Structure 1
Amino acid sequence: MTKTRLIEQFNLRSRLRFNLEQGEIWLDENRMLLFHARAMGALRRELFDSLGVERARGLLIRMGFASGQKDAELAKKLFGSGDPDDVFRIGPELHAFEGLVRSNIVQSDLDWERGSFAGEVDWDNSWEADSHLQLFGIGEAPACWTLVGYASGYATQFFNRLIVFRETACLACGDVHCHIVGKPAEEWGDDPYLGYFKPDNLQGQLEEMREEISRLRKTLCASRPAGNLVGASPGFKAAFDLVGKAAASPITVLLLGETGVGKEMFARWIHDHGSRSDKPFVAVNCAAIPHDLLESELFGVQKGAYTGAQASRPGRFERAHGGTLFLDEVGDLPLAAQVKLLRVLQTGEVERLGDDQVRKVDVRLVTATNVDLQQAIAAGRFRADLYYRLATYPVLIPPLRERRSDIPLLAAALVEKYEASYHKKLQGISDRAMQALMGYQWPGNVRELQNLIERGVLLAPSGGLIEIEHLFAGGAPVTAPGAEVDRAGVVGNERDDSRNRLYEAILNEGFDLERHEAKLLELAVQRANGNLTHAARLLGITRRQLAYRLRQGAVATEE
């Protein structure tokens, strides 16, 4: 049974009421509250600072546990003659319905007669993980504590025995999505984790709380590597670990990755953290220089070497002597330049164009490309011997769409950067805008994110939040809210909302019912290519009813 059918079968939408006059929201007989996710995130932070991480975690888990129990009572009330498995699955749908997380049950072993339970669930769009990332960045511990408590409380209420869920992967830890595993409490053994579900977990000393807060702050500080490189996702960490090991050595590094992933930033980091940091860093985009000028740019030119060469000048290799030369888009080098580059790498010597004097150069070479060099070799566009020279130490930088947990960190760093440039102070990025950033596919990678954030900082009002319209010029690439409140205070679904907006638009235009009905009948017949049976099916009426209405329309026209 699909999610939509579950929601519709148990008529949850019709049970949600907004009483604006009384200032109340009700889901069946349970009063509900709407809070800003940002405000709840601020509360979490206060709990961490005042209680310490362990106590705050226990409190949030137990709060979620109570919420899960209440929703289980609602699901049982809606039980009717429904299948127990289907009714139990209302819990994940309620969780999504309340805007907390989207759940996908990946494994469940439920035996209602014996009361046995085992299950695993994937979570997407967890408000708690998103909030934790924005406040603290990536850490080592999962962050969806109220959601874990909810799942545990919901299952416990259904099975009349303590069922405990535990988060084994979390977006806040840099994982692709959140994942939980649930089973009866006794099957967890003597795991200290069970203590979070007991109210007496609030014992301890103030000094322990201070130590916990200190450890948390150290963890948060460690989530941002030194320099301008920002990220803590597994893909970023793998790339950063490789460049970190290579920085202090003279090894030639080949940075691989799509356009815009930040290859030059990684190259600069290698230079800044190596033994040549006090010497020049020279960057060359090989694709941006015309082929007939590339050799003179790289290796220099002697006066009179060709028409227009009125003075001798050093090339980029000489200018980078003692330091680092970064060759970006090295896969676009013409074959003639590849031959000379290989010779320089083998001998450490350059010859200026039109000169017979050899000059020694001491250069640390870092290259980068978004071209598949193996394919270029097969196509005869790149020399295999040069490839093996450059690819001594390859480092793959993943695209931004594969390191989504880095987006809040990068966005915060970029906002801070552009606040200084535009002399503004902002509150940050709104929840909807951050959701749009997290859901976007990022064809331009980090460079595109940088451009969007700069635009957002420029357009956002000073002291305000960066909203979606400040970021995306052509409209937000996210789905609109799934439900709206009608005039009776009832929340509908997306399809109903769309139809209601259409009806409202029609009624505002001097509505003529007969004319609109005739036009609708005509369009249906045209779409069905004159087949009245198919046209009637499109309109949701019988063929006889359609034929009668068409005749009536024709008579009215003749009159």
Structure 2
Amino acid sequence: MSDIHYPQNADLRSLVRFCSEKGLIWLHESRMILMHAAALSELRKELINSVGIDQARRILTRMGYAAGARDAELARKIRGNQSLQDAFVVGPQLHMLEGMVHVTPFKLDFDEDAKHFYGDFLWENSVEAEVHVREFGHAEHPVCWMQIGYASGYTSAFMGRFILFKEIECVATGRNRCRIVGKPVEEWPDAADYTPYYEADSIVSRMLELRSEVDALRATLERRLPPPSLIGSSAGFRHAYTLIDKAAVTQVTVLLLGETGVGKERFARALHEMSPRAAGPFVAINCAALPHDLIESELFGVERGAFTGAQVSRMGKFERADGGTLFLDEVGELPLAAQAKLLRVLQEGEIERLGDDRTRKINVRLVAATNVDLHAAVKAGRFRNDLFYRLNVYPVVIPPLRERVADIPLLVEAMLKRFGALHGKRLAGVTDKALRALKGHAWPGNIRELENTIERGVILAPQDEWIEVEHLFAGPQDFEASQLGINDAGSLDSADAEDATDALCKQITAAGIGLDGLEQALIQHAVKEAKGNLSGAARLLGITRPQLNYRLKKKETSL
């Protein structure tokens, strides 16, 4: 990571002025607007649907380029007497202040006199990637067109030559964050593929190309998609799914590896559904959930009289799965005796019931899964070396949820539908703040933990309303404002607002209202404004619902 540090942005925040009486917002001498991300999403959708994806990309890229060029003019005015680097990073800082994306410099190397420039930046919380995925799902190519136009426009105006930025990683393609690289246009060998998006073009002339756009979109929709039981488009998910897809048409034994709760059984079921055995049974057994003295009879069956209590002969899981797929979860927990029999099944394709002296041929596809390190188990003597190499023919690693952040919105959407139907709840969805909290959580329990969290939110959220942060987590969660990225607006107070605040404070102190009295008055006012909705009152006060509950209980106790 670069050692570049941003200077304090107080000089930039001070440029923002609100004039609500006249409906004006100013950034220095340039008029600005506040726009809902949902409005940008609708504009983007209409452009793509109306004029095609290429023309929409051109329009948005040129919009961003124009905005970047204007901010470059401001950078020279504001920090013209500071170092060249501090002056340049006005662009990234303004881009963040304007709510578009969080920018982290990875590498920055430029020389104004030599007109040399190379910049490598990491992007997080991209609004364009977020709204694109919301409307169209994940994409094959980067989609932050307006933001990449801004970076190119700002740097080109600052350096006095065309600096072309390319987005080499994008959240919309399944990455955990976006990444951009910029350098002079002539240094890009494929620059001709990108420069047309910065040039003016007639929409009418482009309309003739819409047929090819439609054909391309149709081909994209017709490509093979994962079954409904598997949800995700992140790079890690797609890699695991590709391996499953290739193995499905074969008879190879598959070993699924991953932490607890990542969805290994879902992948096993998907493998079965995509295979020629789909019409046969899918039988799953958790080896860790059975006592060791019962595992062999459960897997291989038992003959009558094999042991005390065996009154009838009974098929085991292998026989029940004949013609289909057997999923052995937590295979690392099998006792050594059962491991030896399992090895024989894999090698000979036949089983022998407990207490029987004859063998039975079976036709079973085996899928095993474990969250333990089988290499270490072999070294420790807890797992047979020969069985390990027999199972490890085709390993598939399923990434943990913390490495699949891009999949969280898709998973949440599917879970909301499922749990909403289960519990008879109609909900508007998950708030932006709650979704950002979900993305920022570490998820040690992976998808299983996410399911539990969403089900809790569905149950606690009021009918027809939004799921908020306090509905999701069992205890009070004080998510950092910097993590959620939603509490920075307070730093944009204008001088007029500061004057109004001073005047208000003078009135309060002159009236002799104490701090406790002021707090209670504010709470009562907020509850009244929210018509008794405590979640709404908490939002008005800028605190969480649990924090408001605490203050209300404190008031009751004092009475």
TM-score range, shorter chain: 0.7 to 0.9
Match of residue 6 from structure 1:
8
- SS of match in other structure, 1:237: helix
- Structure 1 residues 416, 2: CA separation in 2 closer, same or farther (over 3 Å shift)? same
Aligned mates of 1:490, 1:258 — CA distance in 2 = 53
Deviations 1:352-397 (A, max 9, x none): 2233343332211111001110100111111111111211211111
Confirm whether residue 291 of structure 1 aligns to residue 298 of structure 2.
Answer: no
- Structure 1 residues 184, 351: CA separation in 2 closer, same or farther (over 3 Å shift)? closer
Asked if structure 2 preserves the Cα contact closer than 8 Å seen for 1:119 and 1:181, the reply is: yes
Shift of 1:297: 1.2
- SS of match in other structure, 2:114: coil
Match of residue 529 from structure 2:
none
Match of residue 381 from structure 2:
380
Aligned mates of 1:482, 1:13 — CA distance in 2 = 14
Aligned mates of 1:407, 1:491 — CA distance in 2 = 41
Shift of 1:423: 4.1
Aligned mates of 1:56, 1:318 — CA distance in 2 = 57
Deviations 1:76-119 (A, max 9, x none): 22125211221111111111122211112222332222333332
Match of residue 105 from structure 1:
105
Amino acid at match of 1:260: G
Asked if structure 2 preserves the Cα contact closer than 8 Å seen for 1:61 and 1:148, the reply is: yes
Asked if structure 2 preserves the Cα contact closer than 8 Å seen for 1:16 and 1:26, the reply is: yes
Match of residue 421 from structure 2:
420
Match of residue 552 from structure 1:
none
Asked if structure 2 preserves the Cα contact closer than 8 Å seen for 1:301 and 1:354, the reply is: yes
Q: Which one is further off, 428-437 or 191-200?
A: 428-437
| Matches for 1:326-337 after TM superposition, within 5 Å | 326-337=327-338
Match of residue 509 from structure 1:
516
Aligned mates of 1:350, 1:196 — CA distance in 2 = 65
Match of residue 308 from structure 1:
309
| Matches for 1:221-240 after TM superposition, within 5 Å | 222=223, 224-240=225-241
- Structure 1 residues 117, 333: CA separation in 2 closer, same or farther (over 3 Å shift)? same
Q: Which one is further off, 59-68 or 369-378?
A: 59-68
Asked if structure 2 preserves the Cα contact closer than 8 Å seen for 1:255 and 1:263, the reply is: yes
Asked if structure 1 preserves the Cα contact closer than 8 Å seen for 2:328 and 2:367, the reply is: yes
Match of residue 281 from structure 2:
280
Deviations 1:303-359 (A, max 9, x none): 333333233221111111221111000001111221222223233332322333433
Confirm whether residue 152 of structure 1 aligns to residue 152 of structure 2.
Answer: yes
- Structure 1 residues 490, 293: CA separation in 2 closer, same or farther (over 3 Å shift)? farther
Match of residue 533 from structure 1:
none
Aligned mates of 1:149, 1:249 — CA distance in 2 = 47
- SS of match in other structure, 1:368: strand
Match of residue 124 from structure 2:
124
Deviations 1:138-181 (A, max 9, x none): 21221111111111121122223332222122111223421222
Asked if structure 2 preserves the Cα contact closer than 8 Å seen for 1:48 and 1:213, the reply is: no
Asked if structure 2 preserves the Cα contact closer than 8 Å seen for 1:223 and 1:232, the reply is: no
Aligned mates of 1:274, 1:488 — CA distance in 2 = 61
- Structure 1 residues 28, 473: CA separation in 2 closer, same or farther (over 3 Å shift)? farther
Match of residue 52 from structure 2:
52
Match of residue 257 from structure 2:
256
Aligned mates of 2:460, 2:293 — CA distance in 1 = 43
Asked if structure 1 preserves the Cα contact closer than 8 Å seen for 2:80 and 2:87, the reply is: no
Match of residue 458 from structure 1:
459
Asked if structure 1 preserves the Cα contact closer than 8 Å seen for 2:101 and 2:126, the reply is: yes
Asked if structure 1 preserves the Cα contact closer than 8 Å seen for 2:14 and 2:492, the reply is: no
Aligned mates of 1:459, 1:510 — CA distance in 2 = 31
Shift of 1:251: 1.5
Asked if structure 2 preserves the Cα contact closer than 8 Å seen for 1:6 and 1:90, the reply is: no
Match of residue 488 from structure 2:
483
- Structure 1 residues 488, 163: CA separation in 2 closer, same or farther (over 3 Å shift)? closer
Asked if structure 2 preserves the Cα contact closer than 8 Å seen for 1:105 and 1:122, the reply is: yes
Shift of 1:222: 4.5
How well do the aligned residues superpose, as a CA RMSD in angstroms? Answer: 2.8
- Structure 1 residues 53, 463: CA separation in 2 closer, same or farther (over 3 Å shift)? farther
- Structure 1 residues 228, 491: CA separation in 2 closer, same or farther (over 3 Å shift)? farther
Asked if structure 2 preserves the Cα contact closer than 8 Å seen for 1:137 and 1:408, the reply is: no
Aligned mates of 2:420, 2:209 — CA distance in 1 = 38
Answer with 1 or 2: which has the greater Rg.
1
Q: Which one is further off, 365-374 or 172-181?
A: 172-181
Asked if structure 1 preserves the Cα contact closer than 8 Å seen for 2:55 and 2:206, the reply is: no
User: How many equivalent residue pairs?
Assistant: 499
Aligned mates of 2:122, 2:345 — CA distance in 1 = 53
Aligned mates of 2:345, 2:415 — CA distance in 1 = 39
Asked if structure 2 preserves the Cα contact closer than 8 Å seen for 1:484 and 1:491, the reply is: no
Shift of 1:466: 3.1
- SS of match in other structure, 1:183: strand
Aligned mates of 2:220, 2:457 — CA distance in 1 = 30
Confirm whether residue 320 of structure 1 aligns to residue 321 of structure 2.
Answer: yes
Confirm whether residue 40 of structure 1 aligns to residue 40 of structure 2.
Answer: yes
Aligned mates of 2:340, 2:403 — CA distance in 1 = 36
Aligned mates of 1:289, 1:173 — CA distance in 2 = 41
Amino acid at match of 1:6: Q
Deviations 1:430-454 (A, max 9, x none): 2222222222222112222222233
Shift of 1:213: 4.3
Gaps of 5+ in 2: 498-504, 519-559
Asked if structure 2 preserves the Cα contact closer than 8 Å seen for 1:138 and 1:220, the reply is: no
Deviations 1:473-501 (A, max 9, x none): 33457422343538975699xxxxxxx9x
Amino acid at match of 1:485: G
Aligned mates of 2:125, 2:150 — CA distance in 1 = 16
Amino acid at match of 2:47: L
Gaps of 5+ in 1: 493-499, 512-559
Aligned mates of 2:492, 2:235 — CA distance in 1 = 48
- Structure 1 residues 193, 488: CA separation in 2 closer, same or farther (over 3 Å shift)? closer
Aligned mates of 2:514, 2:98 — CA distance in 1 = 33
Amino acid at match of 1:273: M
Give the TM-score normalised by the residue count of structure 1. Answer: 0.82
Aligned mates of 2:224, 2:124 — CA distance in 1 = 22
- SS of match in other structure, 1:129: helix
Asked if structure 1 preserves the Cα contact closer than 8 Å seen for 2:6 and 2:86, the reply is: no
Aligned mates of 2:154, 2:492 — CA distance in 1 = 33
Aligned mates of 1:290, 1:460 — CA distance in 2 = 41
- SS of match in other structure, 2:76: helix
Aligned mates of 2:197, 2:492 — CA distance in 1 = 44
- SS of match in other structure, 2:433: helix
Q: Which one is further off, 352-361 or 372-381?
A: 352-361
Asked if structure 1 preserves the Cα contact closer than 8 Å seen for 2:13 and 2:492, the reply is: no
Amino acid at match of 1:7: N
Confirm whether residue 389 of structure 1 aligns to residue 390 of structure 2.
Answer: yes
- SS of match in other structure, 2:488: coil
Aligned mates of 1:475, 1:128 — CA distance in 2 = 31
Shift of 1:127: 1.2
Match of residue 553 from structure 1:
none
Shift of 1:44: 0.7
Give the TM-score normalised by the residue count of structure 2. Answer: 0.82
Aligned mates of 2:470, 2:165 — CA distance in 1 = 39
Shift of 1:129: 1.2
- SS of match in other structure, 1:295: helix
- Structure 1 residues 487, 88: CA separation in 2 closer, same or farther (over 3 Å shift)? closer
Amino acid at match of 1:58: R
Amino acid at match of 1:483: D
Amino acid at match of 1:232: S
- SS of match in other structure, 1:191: helix
- Structure 1 residues 188, 292: CA separation in 2 closer, same or farther (over 3 Å shift)? closer
Aligned mates of 1:223, 1:38 — CA distance in 2 = 30
Shift of 1:422: 3.6
Confirm whether residue 271 of structure 1 aligns to residue 257 of structure 2.
Answer: no
- Structure 1 residues 201, 472: CA separation in 2 closer, same or farther (over 3 Å shift)? farther
